[in-house]
A = this chain, B = another copy of it.
Amino acid sequence: MFSEEKVNKLVAEISDNYASEELFLVKDGSGMPNRDCIKHIIFEIRRIMFPGYFDSENLSNTLPQYFVGHNIIRLHKELACQIKAALVQQASEENRLSDIEEKAEQIATEFFMSLSEIQRKLIKDVQAAFDGDPAAKTKHEIIFCYPGLFAIFVYRLAHELYKRKVPFIPRIMSEYAHSHTGIDINPGAQIGEYFFIDHGTGVVIGETTIIGNNVKIYQGVTLGALSTRSGQLLRDVKRHPTIEDDVTIYSSASILGGKTVIGKGSVIGGNAFITESVAPGTRVSVKNPELSFTDKNNKNKDKEIFD
């Protein structure tokens, strides 16, 4: 029943859609960056950052310099290739390919030269998780299993590329971590050391958020914008809050707005909804969470809700 006539009709309609929409004009002769390749780079860098955890064989113990050297040379080539693909999509006609290649090579090199510093930060993030979660049996378990650490790790990589204005790739990275963990950290966010996200599902950290050192947040926390009605006009405006050092934010709290500052050492209670700044050292809780307690057998107007 999928007759020749129907097939031809559908082919014509979709071809027409292609022809009429600028969206479909991915640049001819050059593909988009390759998502699987970028995932691969993430996982391979994780093997370098945390040697022995994700190998079937613990190769790094023996003469680790060969393990490290071989892999960074290999991954540098792969990343430079992906960055080039991303830059080409964004390039205008007057950009020369050789300039783009040189820029891609340079960004990839800077990215890799930042890895040992990122590694030192991740060690601190592991410590923060161990100190912050009584359910953590060992630091090994955190490295091996915790989605929060994975999301932070990917963020720290993506942020290095975001800073260098690489298109597509930082977002591919952060959306991969988002899909895997339910934690959505925009690569533009600025995040300090000893950062810990527990459980994490539903956490959103917006593009212009600034987070200090030693901050701990729980599942469902939003660090967001107040309104996005103005759309693209808000681009590059600081729309998300600033969280100072030593702040804890419990589950499902929302902190909104580019001018909102949570002062150093504050503690924000679960479900709090905050749109204005909070002074340092403040403990904020949802006051009198006014609940109605009724006997279930006492039929009343709540019936419709909870029956």
Contact = CB atoms under 8 A, between A and B. Distances in A.
A144 B168 contact: yes
Contacts of A302: 269, 283, 285
Contacts of A188: 135
Contacts of A55: 31
Given A31-B56, A70-B70, A220-B252, A7 B63 contact: yes
A37 to B, nearest CB: 9
A266 B227 contact: no
A9 B117 CA distance: 13
Interface string A131-145: 111111111110111
A175 interface: yes
A21 interface: yes
Copies of this chain in its oligomeric complex: 6
A23 B201 contact: no
Interface in A245-280: 248, 250-252, 254, 256-257, 265-267, 269-275, 278-279
Contacts of A214: none
A51 to B, nearest CB: 6
A241 interface: no
A195 interface: no
Contacts of A182: 182, 201-202
Contacts of A267: 296, 306
B17 A120 contact: yes
A120 B14 CA distance: 9
A99 interface: no
Nearest to A34: B56
A62 B62 CA distance: 22
A92 interface: no
A287 B291 contact: yes
Contacts of A254: 251-252, 270-271
A90 B181 CA distance: 27
Contact of A141 (B167, B204, B275): B167
18 contacts: A11-B65, A11-B66, A13-B116, A18-B60, A24-B60, A26-B51, A26-B53, A32-B52, A132-B231, A135-B235, A137-B167, A144-B168, A182-B201, A220-B252, A226-B307, A227-B306, A283-B295, A287-B292
